[in-house]
Each structure stands twice: as structure tokens, then as C-alpha cells.
């Protein structure tokens, strides 16, 4: 069953649990005893905790009961807390209850450097191909040329990416992605504030939307890693003593173009980088329910793809399970399962 993503940003709310259901109460009344069926629930304000995968909180006056956070964690849900910039500032993850968690952490800690380097090569190749697929979907000569260059870079990527093809690809990708052949907002667009008059290279990039979407991917991947019995802080390539999600940051690299595609669509419909209303955030949260499938990281042809198609949230678990197999020596690093869009991009 596909678990739900809940976003709280429209109005102040209080979260509590009754009969293992998360209740989202409007904070329109002074504190009091809450009955079994409170009358002032927010719209859609009663959800079984076991059906929740992620709660994104972007309302600073939101409050929580202790039992709500404990029950969400026990059910495997992640809770993200957003700051003043509307971007996630912290995350609550459940402690893994995987039956082999000790063995998997041992394998993760002991993984050899050649395996890590080969895993990074697989991830970068998948990222370059995903970027190429997104550019190829743009009806413009420069975009098609950029896609061909990215596919060539993917073929040239070596173990550990010593030539930094990721950075070379980023220069090609973002130059095309930000080029002046953006589709301008329709004159009939209902979004009339802060319209983009000239969406070209001189227009500021939609960093806020991109960062929010990447944070959603990061939260979903961190949750899947914990469920697989792995520690999100121990990365393959990313390393920083203050980053508790290095491994999640590694694995979302090939998934970033899925967010880029949504942001491009939002910008084309008239939203700018400064506009982060609930409608935009809800759209970006939807990336976790995009239809996706997993592809063997060493594959580059449709015939090599696994046939199962499902929401991205589900394929993230296939990805992390395959990574645990790579760590244990049960699967080649080149065969790490990478989620891609079900349409092949």
C-alpha cells in the first residue's frame, strides 16, 4: 500500500493521536481536553498513523503531543520541520527495527574502498543519463545536443569519477536548463502575482523550489535507508562530520531531475522562485508518488529494466535494499538498482 505524505502549512495546528490515528486540530480554541471525536479538525485531519510515510511541517505555530511523535516514529514515518525560509531545518526519523540491522551496519562500516568507488560511478552514470533524458524531452536543438553530450559523459565515467564528469555534466545541464527557451507563462494563467516577464538567463533561478523538492527526496530516501537497516550518516561519496544524511545525499543524485522537471513545469505555469505557497509545496511533495521503476545501474537500454512499476516512494526501498546487498557482497556494485521515471526519463 502506498503510504501518505502530509503537509501542514495553511494554518496553525496541533497534532495528537487517538486510537492510533493522527488528529490534526485547528488551533482556533484555547487548550482543553480533546474528546474522542474533536469537532474542529482541519480538512482531512484524521489519518491512521500506519498509513503515513512523511509529515512535512511548515507552520511555525504547529504543536505536537509526545504520543503523536512517538506513534509516528513507531509506524515508520519521518517528520520534517521547516524553518523561516520554508525549507526543512530538521528531521525526525524512526529507529530501524530491521531484523538484521547489526549485520547490515557491520557490512556498511566494513565496505571496501573499491566497492564505494564503483557504487559512486554507478550513481553518477545514472544521474547523467537522467539529466540527458530530461533535456531530450525539451523541444530545442541545444537541449538535444546537451542530452547527447551527457550520455557521452556517462559512458566515459570511471570508477570513483576521478575526471569529475558529474561537474562537467552539471555545467552542460544547467546551461541548457536555464536557457532562454523556457516556455513563458500563459496570458490566461491564474497566477498573476510576480509573473516572469523574461524567463531567460537573466532571471533568477528558482532555488527555493529546487531546494524544497530535493529536501523531500532526501527525507524519503533517509526513511528508506533506515527501513533497510542502514545508517544515513555513513555516505559513499559525501562526507561531512555535521551531515547526518550523507548516504541519502549520495543516493538522491540520480533522482534530482525528477524534481527539476516539476520545477520547470511550475515555473512555466507562472510561479517564480519567490513564490512558495501551499499549492507549490504540495506539487513538489507529489514527486514521491510519481510513477517510477528501478533500473540496473549498469544498464542503458530499456530491455535491461525491471518490469515492476510503482510510486517512487516504493522504488526507494528497492534501491536501499539493493545497496545493502552490495555492501554484503551479494550484488555487484554496478547492479545497484536506481529509480527512474516510469516513462523512461
CA–CA distance from 182 to each of 94, 115, 140, 197, 199 (Å)?
41, 40, 10, 12, 6
Per-residue pLDDT, 33: 59
Per-residue pLDDT, 205: 52
At 190-205, the pLDDT tens digits run: 433 233 333 333 445 5
Among 92, 114, 131, identify where a domain stops: 92
Among 92, 121, 148, identify where a domain stops: 92
* 24 and 143 part of one domain: no
* 202 and 232 part of one domain: yes
CA–CA distance from 298 to each of 60, 153, 206, 260 (Å)?
44, 14, 32, 23
The stretches of 157-274 forming alpha helices (DSSP H) are 165-177, 207-227, 246-251, 256-268
Which domain covers residue 67, as residue numbers? 4-92
Band of pLDDT at residue 187, cut at 50, 70 and 90: very low
Per-residue pLDDT, 298: 61
* 165 and 35 part of one domain: no
* 150 and 283 part of one domain: yes
Residue 145 pLDDT > 70, yes or no? Answer: yes
Band of pLDDT at residue 97, cut at 50, 70 and 90: low
How confident is the model over 14-25, as a mean pLDDT? 88
Count: domains in the chain = 2
CA–CA distance from 83 to each of 39, 102, 165, 210, 279 (Å)?
30, 34, 34, 16, 18
Return the higher-pLDDT residue of 86 and 294: 294
Lowest-confidence region among 70-74, 78-82, 178-182, 235-239: 178-182
In which order are the strands placed within the sheet that holds 305-311?
A: 305-311, 291-296, 337-341
Handedness of CA 228, 230, 232, 235 (dihedral sign): negative
Residue 344 pLDDT > 80, yes or no? Answer: no
* 221 and 288 part of one domain: yes
* 152 and 220 part of one domain: yes
Domain CATH for 141? 1.20.120.920
* 193 and 272 part of one domain: yes
At 257-274, the pLDDT tens digits run: 999 999 888 876 766 545
* Rounded percentage of the chain residues whose pLDDT exceeds 90: 43
Question: What is the pLDDT of the chain when averaged over all its residues?
Answer: 82
Residue 159 pLDDT > 90, yes or no? Answer: yes
* 49 and 105 part of one domain: no
**Residue 306 backbone dihedrals phi, psi, to 5 degrees:** -75, 140
> Which of 50-64, 82-96, 204-218, 251-265 is predicted most confidently?
251-265
* 253 and 324 part of one domain: yes
* 69 and 42 part of one domain: yes
The stretches of the chain forming alpha helices (DSSP H) are 66-74, 101-110, 113-136, 141-156, 165-177, 207-227, 246-251, 256-268, 278-285, 312-328
Domain CATH for 59? 3.100.10.20
CA distance 180 to 200: 4
Residue 9 pLDDT > 90, yes or no? Answer: no
- Enter the DSSP assignment of 275: -
* 83 and 105 part of one domain: no
Cβ contact 247:231 at 8 Å:
yes
Band of pLDDT at residue 90, cut at 50, 70 and 90: confident
* Rounded percentage of the chain residues whose pLDDT exceeds 70: 79
Among 92, 112, 135, identify where a domain stops: 92
* 271 and 234 part of one domain: yes
Amino acid at each position: 500500500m502506498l503510504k501518505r505524505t502530509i503537509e501542514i502549512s495553511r494554518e496553525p495546528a496541533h497534532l495528537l493521536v487517538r486510537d492510533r490515528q493522527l488528529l490534526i486540530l485547528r488551533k482556533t480554541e484555547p487548550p482543553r481536553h480533546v474528546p474522542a471525536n474533536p469537532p474542529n479538525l482541519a480538512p482531512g485531519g484524521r489519518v491512521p498513523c500506519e498509513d503515513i510515510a512523511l509529515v512535512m511541517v511548515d507552520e511555525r505555530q504547529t504543536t505536537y503531543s509526545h504520543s503523536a511523535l512517538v506513534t509516528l516514529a513507531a509506524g515508520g514515518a519521518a517528520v520534517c520541520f521547516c524553518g523561516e525560509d520554508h525549507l526543512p531545518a530538521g528531521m525526525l526519523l524512526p529507529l530501524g527495527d530491521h531484523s538484521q540491522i547489526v549485520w547490515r551496519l557491520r557490512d556498511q562500516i566494513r565496505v571496501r574502498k573499491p566497492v564505494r568507488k564503483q557504487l559512486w560511478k554507478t550513481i553518477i552514470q545514472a544521474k547523467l543519463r537522467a539529466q540527458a533524458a530530461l533535456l531530450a524531452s525539451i523541444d530545442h536543438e541545444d537541449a538535444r545536443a546537451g542530452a547527447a553530450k551527457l550520455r557521452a559523459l556517462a559512458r566515459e565515467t570511471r570508477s570513483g569519477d576521478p575526471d569529475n564528469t558529474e561537474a562537467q555534466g552539471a555545467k552542460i545541464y544547467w546551461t541548457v536548463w536555464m536557457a532562454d527557451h523556457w516556455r513563458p507563462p500563459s496570458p490566461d494563467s491564474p497566477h498573476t502575482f510576480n509573473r516572469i516577464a523574461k524567463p531567460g538567463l537573466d532571471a533568477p533561478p528558482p532555488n527555493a523550489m529546487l531546494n524544497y523538492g530535493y529536501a523531500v527526496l532526501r527525507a524519503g530516501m533517509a526513511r528508506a535507508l533506515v527501513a533497510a537497516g542502514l545508517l544515513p550518516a555513513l555516505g559513499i561519496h559525501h562526507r561531512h562530520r555535521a551531515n547526518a544524511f550523507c548516504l541519502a545525499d549520495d543516493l538522491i543524485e540520480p533522482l534530482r531531475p525528477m524534481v527539476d522537471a516539476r520545477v520547470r513545469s511550475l515555473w512555466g505555469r507562472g510561479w517564480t522562485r519567490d513564490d512558495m505557497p501551499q499549492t507549490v509545496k504540495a506539487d513538489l511533495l507529489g514527486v514521491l508518488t510519481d510513477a517510477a521503476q528501478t533500473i540496473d545501474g549498469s544498464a542503458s537500454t530499456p530491455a535491461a529494466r525491471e518490469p515492476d512499476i510503482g510510486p517512487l516512494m516504493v522504488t526507494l526501498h528497492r534501491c536501499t535494499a539493493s545497496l545493502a546487498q552490495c555492501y554484503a557482497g551479494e550484488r555487484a556494485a554496478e547492479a545497484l538498482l536506481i529509480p527512474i521515471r516510469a516513462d523512461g526519463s
